[in-house]
Amino acid sequence: MEAWDAIGELLDAGRSWSGRERNGCFLNLGDGHFAAVAGLVGLDHDSDSRGLALVDWDRDGDLDLWLSNRTGPRIRYLRNDLVKSPRSVGLRLEGTRSNRDAIGARVTIVRPDGSSSGVWRSLRAGEGYLAQSSKWLTLPVVEPEGAIKVRVRWPNGSEEKFSGLRPNQRYELQEGSGMARVVSIRGPALPETMPPFPSLPTDSARIVPHAPLPLPRLKYFDLSGREQLIKGEPSSMLLTLWATWCGPCLHELKALQAGEAQLREAGVDWVPLNVDTLEEALPQRLERVRRFNQRHRLSARGGLATGDLVEILDAVQRSIVGRQKAIPVPATFLLDGDGRVSLVYKGRVSLDQIFHDVAGSRDPNREWRDWAVAFPGRWYVSPFGTERFALPEKLLEIGQAKAAFSYLQRHLGPRLARRAVNDRGETLAAHQVQERDQRIGSLYERTGELFARKSELDSAIDCLESALVFLPDSLASRINLATALQSLGRDQEAVGGFRKVLSRQPDHVGVKNSLAWILATASEAAVRDPAAALELARQVCEATGNQEPQTLDTLAAALAATGRYEEAVSTAERALSLVRTKPQAGLAALLEQRLALYRNRQAFFQSGPAKK
C-alpha cells in the first residue's frame, strides 16, 4: 500500500482522502474544510517512502503512521493530530478455530437495530511493500451515545457478535467466547509538540564515495589552447566546473582564488575549468574566458573543459549517488594523489570544508566507508573496497566507449583475471573470483560491442580479447571478435575464431555463414577452401529454408569458387529476387555486381578489408 492511499484510514468513516499538495497532502474533513497533513506531522515533499505501517501509537484513539523511506530520514513517525479526542474503539482478535492471529477477519460496527453502520475493518497480514500494520484494529465510533456492538466474521466463515463495548476503550475478542475483555495499555511517552518542520534542501551537497573512485584519463585545454592531462599526482587536485553566466560560480572562483596560497601549502592544486558552449570553436571559448577573467580580476588559472570531460564527471557523480540529477555549476571534485575522486561538492563549498576533507582523505587510520555515511554504526558485512564497476557502467550508458576502455585498462586490466585476492589483500572464495571476473569480462564485452557499432574495430578487438581473458567460454565475445577481424581483412585469424565457436556450437547459422563467406571469397589463396565453403553454405541455406538473401549470396559465391557458374547464377538470381521482397540496404547492388561476374564465369574474391 502506498503512503498516500492509506491516509484515509487516519480519520473516521465520514472523512475521506481527497488529494495531495506539493509539500504533503490534504484531507477532506467532510464539512468543506481541508487540513494539511504536512503542516501537522512534519512530512516534507522529498520523502521517498517504501513501507508504511498504521498503528495507534500514542493510544489517543486515532491511527498514526510509521514510514520507512529510501531517502533520509530512513524511518519517520508521523503523529495524527487532525482530530482532538476522537471517539473510537480498539480491538485485538484471537482465533481459536481460525488462525491464532485471526488474519482475514472482518469487524463491523452494528447499530442498535442490528443493521450495519458502514464502519468496518479487516485484519491483514501485510500493508503493501515489506510493511505490517498493528494487529490492533481501530474503528471510529459514529453512533452518538450508548454501548457499541460489533459483528466479527472470522476467517473460517463463522460470524459472532460482541456487545457492551464503550468508546475510547480497548478490548480483546476471542473467537467463540462471545465476551469482550477490557485491556488496559499505557501509551508511550511522547512530546507534546512535534520537532520543527525540516528546512528545505539547499543547492549545495557534499558527497563522499564509499571508497576513493578511480577515473579514466581526463583531458582539458589550458588557457593557451594546449591539451593537458589530469593526473592528480603527486599532490591532491581540486577540479571546479564553472560558467560565466553563473553568479554563484563567480563567488566560488573568487573565494578559491583568495585561498589559493593556502591550498598550495596544503598540497592541493586548484584547476578551474569553464564549461560554456562546449560545442563552440576553441578560439572563441578561450577569448570569452580571458575577457571574463580580466573583467572580474581573476587569475589565468585552469582552462576549458571538453564535452567528454563533463560527460565523464557527470557519470562519476551519478555512479556515487542514487538520485540521478545532472551535474550543476559550480561543481568541485577533490582528487587524491593517485588521481582518484575523494569527494564531490555540488554547489559552493567553503575553504574550511575543503581543508577538513583534504586532511581526512589523507588520514591512514580512517575507515573510508564509515566516513561516507551520515551516522556511526557497526557493519553487518565487512567494508568493501572501491566499487570499481559503477563508473564504467555509467560510461557505457552514455556511449563513452573510449573512457570506459581507458578506465578498464587502468583499473580492471586482464592481470586481475582469476586472481584470488581483492584490493584490500583479502583472499576471495572461488565463487567471488568467478563473480568478479564475470562482471569485468562483461564490461569489456559491452565496450567492445560499442566500439564495433562505432566502426572503431581496432579498439573493439582489443576490448574483446581482454573480455576473453576473463570469460574464455563467452561465445558472444568470440563471435564479435572474429567478425571484427573479418571486417579488417584479418581473415586467417577470423577463420580460427569462427571455427572455435563452431567447435562448441556446431549449428550456429550466422557463424557458419560468416566462415563459409571467408573460405569462398578470401583475398589470400592460402585462406580459401571452396569445397568446405560450399558444404557450410549448403547447410546454412537448408537451415534457413533457402529464403534468406544473405545466405544464398554466400552459396552463390561458394558455387562460383568451385567453378559451378550456372548454379551460382541461378542462386544469385534467387537471392536478388528475395532482396526485392525483403529489402536489405546495399545488398541488392552488391548482388547485381557479383551476378555479372558469375555470368562471365568469374568467381568473386575480396580485394582487401571489406565487410560483406
Q: What mean pLDDT, rounded, does the chain reach?
A: 85
Asked if domains 205-372 and 492-612 share a fold, the reply is no
Please report which helix (H) or strand (E) contains residue 250, including its range.
helix 247-258
Q: What is the pLDDT of residues 437-450, one digit of tens each?
A: 999 999 999 999 99
- What was the pLDDT predicted at 188? 65
Name the residue type at position 45.
H
Retrieve residue 21's grid coordinates: 499538495
* 78 pLDDT tier (thresholds 50, 70, 90): confident
* Residue spans per domain, the chain: 3-78, 88-183, 205-372, 388-472, 492-612
Q: What is the pLDDT of residues 373-392, one digit of tens each?
A: 777 777 766 554 456 888 99
Residue 114 contacts by C-beta under 8 Å, 6 or more apart in sequence?
none
What average pLDDT score do residues 494-520 get?
A: 96
Strand-pairing partners, residue 55, are: 64
* 11 pLDDT tier (thresholds 50, 70, 90): very low
Angle at 495 (CA atoms; ends 493, 499), nearest 5 degrees: 120
Q: Which of 503 and 377 is assigned the larger pLDDT?
A: 503
For the cut 90, the answer to whether the pLDDT of residue 67 exceeds it is no
Q: Which of 245 and 201 is assigned the larger pLDDT?
A: 245
Other Cβ atoms within 10 Å of 115 Cβ, number: 8
* 59 pLDDT tier (thresholds 50, 70, 90): confident
Q: What is the pLDDT of residues 574-611, one digit of tens each?
A: 999 998 776 666 888 899 999 999 999 999 998 743 33
Retrieve residue 283's grid coordinates: 578560439
For the cut 70, the answer to whether the pLDDT of residue 26 exceeds it is no
Residues 563/565/571/575 CA torsion (nearest 10 deg)? 100
* CA distances from residue 193 to 7, 372, 547 in whole angstroms, order as listed: 21, 33, 78
Q: What CATH number was assigned to the domain covering residues 88-183?
A: 2.60.40
Q: Please, is 189 exposed, middle or buried when counting C-beta atoms within 10 Å of its C-beta (0-12, 13-18, 19+)?
A: exposed
Tell the CATH topology of 205-372: Glutaredoxin (3.40.30)
- What was the pLDDT predicted at 425? 74
For the cut 60, the answer to whether the pLDDT of residue 34 exceeds it is no
Helix, strand and coil percent figures for the chain, each rounded to 5: 40, 20, 40
Percent over 70 (pLDDT), the chain: 85
* 71 pLDDT tier (thresholds 50, 70, 90): low
Q: What is the pLDDT of residues 292-310, one digit of tens each?
A: 999 999 988 899 999 999 9
Q: Which of 3 and 75 is assigned the larger pLDDT?
A: 75
CA atoms within 13 Å, Cβ hemisphere of 131: 21
* Three-state SS at 172: strand
> What one-character DSSP code corresponds to residue 199?
P
Q: Can you tell me the distance from the alpha carbon of 153 to that of 451, in angstroms, rounded to the nearest whole number?
A: 66
For the cut 90, the answer to whether the pLDDT of residue 4 exceeds it is no
* CA distances from residue 227 to 303, 305, 454 in whole angstroms, order as listed: 10, 10, 24
CATH number, domain 492-612, options 3.40.710.10, 1.25.40.10, 1.10.565.10, 1.10.3720.10: 1.25.40.10
Report yes or no: 463 and 444 within 8 Å, Cβ to Cβ.
yes
Retrieve residue 447's grid coordinates: 565496450
- What was the pLDDT predicted at 525? 93
